[in-house]
Structure 1
């Protein structure tokens, strides 16, 4: 049944948003698609490449939707004093979601990420009376975000970054929309041991703490993050699972196909990097030279991590792929040995919905993502302490339980088949119990809370 109130949801993605490389950003765009399927209007502003815009516009046209591609430029003077331009393309995709796409080419080639982060931090911390002191690029971005929000006329602005949180709080139409913060990592929160532990996350804890407590809603995607916010910040949040569309098959739009991969020969891991348990993977590869491992690089995989894995004869490294069937059709087991305080672990749920057993750590929300299934292994979590280079210090780990789990599942066919069947049944039951309209209801409740008619 359609909602009686039509909402207009405007999402801000600080990472590449057309073909997201992380679970959190995939979940964000899935939320827009789900809300759009319920009859609400949806838009996002994000970073992307020109060829992506062309690809998505072609897909829209193939489905009979006019993509209405337009192009504009926003001039600014960069930190070197050189004149430059933001290239912005707008279009409608096959779901009729409007996209405001800032070209990533500039930032990939000419504008170092650290410079952008520093300038963003300066904007967050600057007193509004000294707004003229912000960098020219930040001014261009702020004006672009502000104009895009004005053009779309949202009922809700959804974000996971402090810059947008400030822009939304100062917007001329502030009284006309709700501000919703989505928390995908503990590092986003302005308190606790992991505060600002990742580059670009929580740049100014004191300022962000004040702003965060003033938004209309804070959505966390696991009880682990909810409890973390209470424990370290005495901050109330709303726990909601990811939108159900996050887990549907991207090609068919239906329930994922069950895999029967007992005869496959590879153990897979996505995003091999230190906080995701790279040291555990390396130790396992050395202890189990007869086992084949395959990894898919992602946002955390640096060149030195890839070089380390390339030195191991039984480990293959594949590039990031948006076609996850290439992963699920290939692996026998998914390895998720994170030592980071995970928010949830979307890949764990995705694998389990396909009947693929997962050997995961108990880090943060991974225990929830495992759904009570076997092979959830304790680890020594990151403490938040960093080395001289500002990187998390990775604690030593006990490899034995990981080794035993892999050997058991790779060699005992009966054990594997039984676990695969139980994994598929458990994940399917969990998925069928989700409220497909949970986010919609929550967003509508925000509007009704300030509706004078609701107080009559």
Structure 2
């Protein structure tokens, strides 16, 4: 593996746990755009991630079109599954168009017990860290937090965790509230306090970490590149969707506000709603929507332009402790009005724009199937806001202009080097 840096300043290695090179989640977008930003600023960057086969060919081709040699390599690693069956894990490496180099449980965390499968993965991660010789290792999962802590070259790099959800933190009412988050609270609580830095993506999550765990973190807004047009690299194209007819929502599930969506679609049978499935959308949730004749259900999309070209209004009625709400910011930057709740960090994503409606958030109580228990909501303010925006053309036009203008000003006001400065400051600390 090779990755070269024109300045010799930083070599940043990210472990990416999302499935695929272009997942729809806001957390993934924040992670990968951090690397792309640092690469553009002259630093060497690499990530280890879980790619889908056709994605590698697609990304390699895009790199070639941008004058960058992808240098695709292929190796195999023997791994053993929990049933004792041996398999070959195919590992591919390549450099993408942003000059980022990519590389395709609990017992380990708590008792240092290594199954054959886990031993293979620990060796894989450790070997790539050794080969890249990073100045910083960044992650958002507990396994990498432990691997990097025990790495033989530990003293040569800084360790940084990104907190994308309150559920990642090993304390407070939402600990382990999402599958795969916070496997071992006691161990993770100790490990978090041994890190060189913790990045929280909103003031809401920063406050949660301090109020519930007295854990000091650094709040930084996502890198501006997260919100730029993925094709042009410039400011997003403003939509003029006043004559569109659909009201959109992404990731319909109970804690994302499914009950509010269902109530609105029932109240306004003459309005058309469209939803895009994502990580939280389970068959039972989709079945609720299929029973409503004015709701269209679309599969997960990685191309969010499909959403912005289609909808007149975005609903973001989250009822959990939302970290930020990337989709809210994306819509507003395109001049699409958003009717959102005030849960968690959503008011930050709204940047003071209408509408931000108070809700009764989940408390952490869960049903037997793992879903949060969702309190009964007052739908009246949602009905009034939606009816006004959909029926009053003057209101919509004024809100569209205000949304596009204020959001663009906000994005231009962000410091593009905030994350770089923060990471560099760690190198001055012993």
> TM-score over 0.5 for the alignment?
yes
Question: More displaced, 171-180 or 425-434?
Answer: 425-434
Which runs of structure 2 are paired with 1:15-414 in the superposition (5 Å)?
A: 15-101=18-104, 120-127=105-112, 133-414=113-394
Query: Where in structure 1 do 4 or more consecutive aligned residues deviate above 6 Å?
Result: none
CA distance in 2, matches of 1:384, 1:122: 26
**Aligned residue in 2 for 1:431:** 411
Structure 2 CA distance for aligned equivalents of residues 79 and 449 of structure 1: 42
Residues 3, 38 of structure 1: 8 Å contact kept: no
List alignment gaps of at least 5 residues for structure 2.
none
Q: 1:158 to 1:302 in 2, by over 3 A?
A: same
Q: Deviations over 1:332-353 (max 9, x none)?
A: 1000000010010011011111
1:117 aligns with: none
The superposition leaves residues 272-321 of structure 1 with CA deviations (integer Å, 9 ceiling, x where unpaired) of 11111111111111111011001111111112222221221101111111
Q: Structure 1, residues 216-260: CA drift from partner, whole Å, max 9, x if none?
A: 000001000011011000111000000000000011110001111
Segment drifting more, 203-212 vs 63-72 = 63-72
> Whole-Å Cα distance in 2 between the matches of residues 326 and 390 of structure 1?
31
Distance (whole Å) between structure 2 residues aligned to residue 359 and residue 77 of structure 1? 48
Q: How large is the RMSD of aligned CA atoms in angstroms? A: 1.2
CA distance in 2 between counterparts of 1:17 and 1:161 reads: 16
Give 3-state SS (helix, strand or coil) of 1:124's partner.
Answer: helix
Looking at structure 1, the residues matched to 158 and 20 of structure 2 have their Cα atoms a distance apart, in angstroms, of 22
Which structure 1 segments of 5+ residues have no match?
102-119, 128-132, 451-456
**Residue deviations 1:346-393, cap 9 Å, x none?**
110111111111000000000110011111001110100111223211
Measured in 2, the distance between the counterparts of 1:397 and 1:263 equals: 30
1:9 is matched with 12
Instruction: Look up the SS of the partner of 1:227 in the other structure.
Output: helix
Aligned to 1:454: none
| Contact in 1 for aligned 2:254/2:371 (Cα 8 Å) | no
Where does residue 108 of structure 1 map in the other structure? none
Distance in 1 of aligned mates of 2:397 and 2:281: 32
1:20 Cα deviation (Å)? 1.7
Partners of 1:278 and 1:154 lie apart in 2 by 43
**Paired residue secondary structure (2:324):** coil
Label 1:222 to 1:61 Cα distance change in 2 as closer, same or farther (>3 A): same
Distance 2:387 2:138 in 1: 44
The alignment partner of 1:449 has SS state of coil
| Aligned-partner Cα distance in 1 for 2:179–2:413 | 36
Q: Distance in 2 between matches of 1:232 and 1:5?
A: 39
TM normalised by structure 2 equals 0.97
State how far apart, in whole Å, the 1-side matches of 2:89 and 2:132 are.
20
Query: Over residues 119-174 of structure 1, what are the superposed CA-to-partner deviations in whole Å (9 max), with x where a residue is unaligned?
Result: x21111114xxxxx422111111111001111111110000000000000000110
